[in-house]
């Protein structure tokens, strides 16, 4: 059987949230929801798992902190110790107050830059990639719900989606 989806267009975010609840309660499969801005609570209504990006950000920050500690210890203590401003470089611990800004900056640098790269890789936003937005109005003021219609009666599903408040419905084969 061919893959068929229905695109239901909504004009209000509250109406969209109610429609997604009703669609999920009726056991229809929602492929994707396109919105012009983040809709609070939509991820919970759709039943999406919580994001793990905060965990990866923490791990990237810890990596940056470790790199900063290793880098400063190697450069300032082991490789080429200098007496800068009357502070002798005998041990890392003695000079740690002077190293705190560098450790903080590298922690933020690693977390920020690696999070951007992770986000682009996770969402598959590669450079020069063609946009996959099915309706240009979803970048302005409309909301689109993509419902899988392969194993359902299209007429019943269309009537159901109109009853949820959809202003426009298209069948995509």
pLDDT in tens, 135-168: 889 889 999 999 998 888 889 999 999 999 999 9
Quote the pTM value: 0.72
Percent of the chain with pLDDT over 70: 97
Distance CA 151, CA 33 (A): 20
Quick one: pLDDT at residue 2? 54
CATH of domain 5-36+141-172: 3.30.70.120
pLDDT in tens, 64-123: 999 999 999 998 888 887 777 776 777 888 888 888 999 999 999 999 999 999 988 888
**Domain boundary assignment for the chain:** 5-36+141-172, 53-122
Confidence of residue 128 (pLDDT cuts 50, 70, 90): confident
Quick one: pLDDT at residue 161? 93
pLDDT in tens, 146-155: 999 888 888 9
Instruction: Name the average pLDDT for the chain.
Output: 90
Show the 3-state SS of 91-143: CCCCCHHHHHHHHHHHHHHHHHHHHHHHHHHHCCCCCCCCCCCCCHHHHCCCE
Size of the chain in residues: 173
């Amino acid at each position: 059987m061919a893959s068929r989806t229905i695109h239901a267009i909504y004009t209000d975010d509250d109406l969209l949230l109610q429609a997604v609840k009703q669609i999920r309660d009726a056991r229809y499969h929602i492929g994707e929801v396109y919105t012009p801005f983040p809709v609070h609570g939509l991820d919970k209504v759709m039943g999406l798992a919580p994001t793990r990006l905060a965990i990866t950000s923490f791990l990237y920050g810890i990596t940056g902190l470790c790199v900063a500690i290793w880098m400063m210890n190697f450069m300032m203590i082991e490789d080429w110790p200098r007496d800068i401003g009357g502070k002798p470089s005998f041990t890392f611990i003695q000079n740690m107050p002077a190293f705190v800004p560098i450790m903080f900056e590298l922690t933020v640098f690693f977390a920020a830059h690696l999070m951007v790269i992770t986000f682009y890789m996770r969402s598959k936003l590669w450079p020069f990639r063609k946009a996959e937005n099915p309706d240009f109005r979803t970048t302005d003021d409309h909301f689109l719900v993509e419902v899988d219609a392969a194993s359902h009666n299209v007429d019943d599903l269309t009537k159901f989606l109109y009853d949820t408040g959809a202003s426009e419905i298209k069948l995509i084969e």
